[in-house]
Amino acid sequence: MHEKLERLRSLDRERNLVARIGAVLGWDQETFMPPAGVAERAEQLAMIEGLAHEKGTLPEIGELLAALGSTDANPPGDPSLPPMDRAYLRVVRRGYSRAVKIPKALVEELARAGSLAQAAWAEARQKSDFKAFAPHLSKMLELRLKVAACIDPAKKPYDVFLDDFEPGSTEESIAKVFGELRTELVALLGKIRSRPQVDDALIHRHCPEAAQVALSEWVLDELAFPRDRARLDKSAHPFTTTLGADDVRITSRYHEDFFVSSLFSAMHECGHALYELGMAPAPEYARTSLADSASFGVHESQSRMWENVVGRSEAFWKSRWPKLQATLGDTLRGAGVEDFVRAINKVEPSLIRVEADEVTYGLHIILRFEIESALVSGRLKVEDVPAAWNAKCRELLGVEPANDAEGCLQDVHWSFGGFGYFPSYSLGNLYAAQFWEAMRKDIPGLDASVSTKAGLEAILAWLRRNIHSKAATLLPDELVKSVTGEELSPRHFVKYLREKYGRVYGF
């Protein structure tokens, strides 16, 4: 049995190695590649993807899984195995079954159609022309529904999709959580809107890119971003990617009239990177499928905890104010830290998700969840998406898009068939607040502790011990129960928002 497991890990590590080679190619494409390199790079990526698929669907993997008792009905396999090995079998079985159940022709059609749909989406968004994108959206939906039917025809397709991002979640469980969240967010937003608005002019003062880079690098040092295992570069959109167990890259972008955008992007991506760099369930599982995140939502909890809970707190900036002012030169001359903290926490309903504040962000996600789950179940037709979007936007946020570019065409996700992805973003906020509450029990004076580097290190050590090192050994609901003693609930996040925005808006 031990030899079979080791053989399985060895095949898995090889597949993982190929995937990391693909990550190097992808990172370079987004950061440094000269533009004309794109055609050949696409072929290089296709070759690596093909090879990874080959390595991930080897019949020997299926034979080893079967010999270890792992089946679709009983993924963790032989009950006599230690829990970590059973968790590993569960993870490998899941990936293997998904990979072998989808016919190669369908995989290739999805890749082609997705590539066309993404290009069509980019053009349609630019022209604010939903009709031009609609046939591509229909095609991606049709193909993804075929995929769902291959994986588990007995399950609701949206639940199959959710499983890719948040294993164990269902439309029903998400709807329940989001239902509670929605009520609370709408009420809180009402309270905030009854108070005088915050003035955030100071974070729109001009700030040269070089100063922003220096700021990001300094803050990354404060967050113990490990320079020997990670680095920050520039790209069109911020992202994190793992090129090796000891090689994680993050990127940021710089707007000279909105310097906090790059600052919080760096903190956000740093949170993802620290998680990636801490996934060490056991030495024998290094570089295997078990050294992965518990879910997209848990991953997002790490980025949002550092960005929002830590990075938008008064305690973090109060002790660092002189250094922040000095790093930015003229930009913050004459400003006070209280005004800065209020400015970075301004709440204002807006049309664009990626620019939303912590309070309205959840409403943007609920809007998308309701529309995509209706689309996938057939309750909503593709052609009716714009009208449904605009109505929900008005209902939830009180604002309405003037066109589809700032409405239902704003996000890329559906164009690559990523139905079920959006909920993870909001779940991340919920996990983060709930983990933070649990951390309070172990770290006295937690909220104030972010003022020092030692305090931040203690937080990272706690996360390493309780979350990062667990990697994918626990399902997200198991993880949240083991760490916090209860099921995922929006109440911690709501409490956090109420207290924080009560201070910011004075109620």
Which residues carry out catalysis? 269
Cβ proximity to a second copy, 95 vs 244, nearer residue? 244
- Residue 103 binds a second copy (CB under 8 A): no
Cβ atoms within 10 Å, residue 391: 12
- Residue 351 binds a second copy (CB under 8 A): no
Cβ proximity to a second copy, 285 vs 414, nearer residue? 285
- Residue 32 binds a second copy (CB under 8 A): yes
Cβ atoms within 10 Å, residue 53: 16
Minimum CB–partner distance for residue 120 and a second copy (Å): 25
What are the CA-CA distances from residue 412 to residues 362, 409, 492 (Å)? 18, 8, 30
Cβ proximity to a second copy, 8 vs 23, nearer residue? 23
Q: Whole-angstrom Cα distance, residue 61 to residue 265?
A: 39
- Residue 230 binds a second copy (CB under 8 A): yes
- The residues in 33-62 that bind a second copy, with binding defined as CB under 8 A, are 33-37, 39-41, 43-44, 47-48, 51
Minimum CB–partner distance for residue 192 and a second copy (Å): 42
254-280 exposure pattern, b = at least 16 Cβ within 10 A, e = fewer: beeebbbbbbbbbbbbbbbbbbbbbbb
Q: Whole-angstrom Cα distance, residue 443 to residue 461?
A: 11
- Residue 273 binds a second copy (CB under 8 A): no
Residues forming a β-bridge with 155: none
Identify the residue among 154, 196, 228, 322 touching a second copy (CB under 8 A). Answer: 228
Nearest to 459 by CA among 317, 302, 318, 314: 302
Cβ proximity to a second copy, 223 vs 483, nearer residue? 223
Task: Give the H or E element holding residue 172.
Answer: helix 171-193
Return the sign of the alpha-carbon dihedral for residues 306, 309, 314, 319: negative
- Residue 231 binds a second copy (CB under 8 A): yes
Q: How many residues bind a second copy (CB under 8 A)?
A: 35
| Site mask for a second copy (CB under 8 A), range 188-227, x = bound | --------------------------------------xx
- Six token digits for residue 64: 């080893």
User: What's the per-residue H, E or C state across 52-77?
Assistant: HHHHHCCHHHHHHHHHCCCCCCCCCC
Minimum CB–partner distance for residue 460 and a second copy (Å): 17
- Residue 28 binds a second copy (CB under 8 A): yes
Q: Whole-angstrom Cα distance, residue 415 to residue 412?
A: 6
Cβ proximity to a second copy, 35 vs 196, nearer residue? 35
By CB under 8 A, name the binding residues for a second copy: 14, 17-18, 20-21, 24-25, 28, 32-37, 39-41, 43-44, 47-48, 51, 226-231, 233, 243-247, 287
